[in-house]
A and B are shown apart, each in its own frame.
Chain A
Amino acid sequence: MNLMLRNRPTELDPVEELDRLQRELSRWFDFGFDNMGLLDRALAPTVDLVETNEGYILTVDLPGVDKKDINLTVENNVITIEGEKKETRESKDKKRFFRKETWEGSFRRTISLPAAADPEKVHAELKNGILTVTIGKKEELKPRQIAVQVK
């Protein structure tokens, strides 16, 4: 049985790879308690948190996870995503694997939201294995344009 993985060097962009490495490294140096918990990384899905004019968008990779297995809570501006990625039928028999890069089991991730986030305005959607959480901004903290009158 010859089912081997082959990476084509031409499909990898060295400059982009360096960029990514730098991003990864700087993340380690920025490693703080405001973004993630100390022990969160091991069994936590990868997330993106983006600030837009209207609010924040949290994107979580959860491929193969059912909607009913995800629990989302917001408390004191800390958002917690937890749940379980169910084992598939074939993954129970561990001996038969040729290759395994995927994980299953329970996961948990907590993210501190910026002060401007409004915990009342949270909306979540799961589509194609991506959980998108939209968080609104508090009205009084939104950037506002103030007209200055020159006399």
Chain B
Amino acid sequence: MNEVMEKRQENKVRMVQPACAICEDNGQILVRVEMPGVDKDGIEVSVEKNELVIKGKPAAAPVEGTYLIRERQTGEYHKRFIIDETIDREKIQAVMNDGVLQLTLNIKEAAKPRKIEIK
């Protein structure tokens, strides 16, 4: 328990799992991550080995005062996905708009279903 308390002092920032939607569209994987409060500069997308790491830092600090209603989860956004070899790591596109991050992952040509013609 002491350890837990100490750890809590170390990283005060709360990690929030943002809501996301993943779908396939024309051989591309579209990942939408909702991170309200995060602007283009606060976002960090990286690929570590077989993981896609998404980090987002809200642009504004939480409001100081007496909370009458508190439902929103505040803190830094953090999400990790495991991606396999079929994803082309060189071709990951990211667009940030209105607090929504849209990632486009391309499937490698070699991994796409191929139709073999019968002669």
Residue numbers in A under 8 Å from B32 (CB-CB): 64, 88, 102
A21 to chain B, nearest CB (A): 12
Q: Mark B97-112, 1 if CB is under 8 A from A, else 0.
A: 1111000000100000
Cβ-defined partner of A128 (8 Å) among B51, B67, B68, B99: B99
Residue numbers in A under 8 Å from B94 (CB-CB): none
Q: Report yes or no: A102 in contact with B21, Cβ–Cβ below 8 A.
A: yes
Residue numbers in B under 8 Å from A7 (CB-CB): 17, 80
- Number of chain A residues close to chain B: CB under 8 A: 53
Q: Report yes or no: B98 in contact with A5, Cβ–Cβ below 8 A.
A: no
A47 to chain B, nearest CB (A): 6
Tell me the residues in window 54-109 of chain B with beta carbons closer than 8 Å to chain A beta carbons: 59-60, 63-73, 78-84, 86, 97-100, 107
Cβ-defined partner of A63 (8 Å) among B17, B84, B86, B99: B99
Nearest CB in chain B to that of A129: its residue? B99
* Besides A8-B80, A46-B72, A64-B99, 11 other A-B contacts (C-beta < 8 A): A1-B84, A3-B31, A11-B15, A14-B4, A23-B70, A63-B34, A90-B30, A96-B25, A128-B39, A130-B36, A130-B99
The 5 closest A-B pairs by CB, nearest first: A129-B99, A63-B99, A129-B36, A101-B19, A49-B69
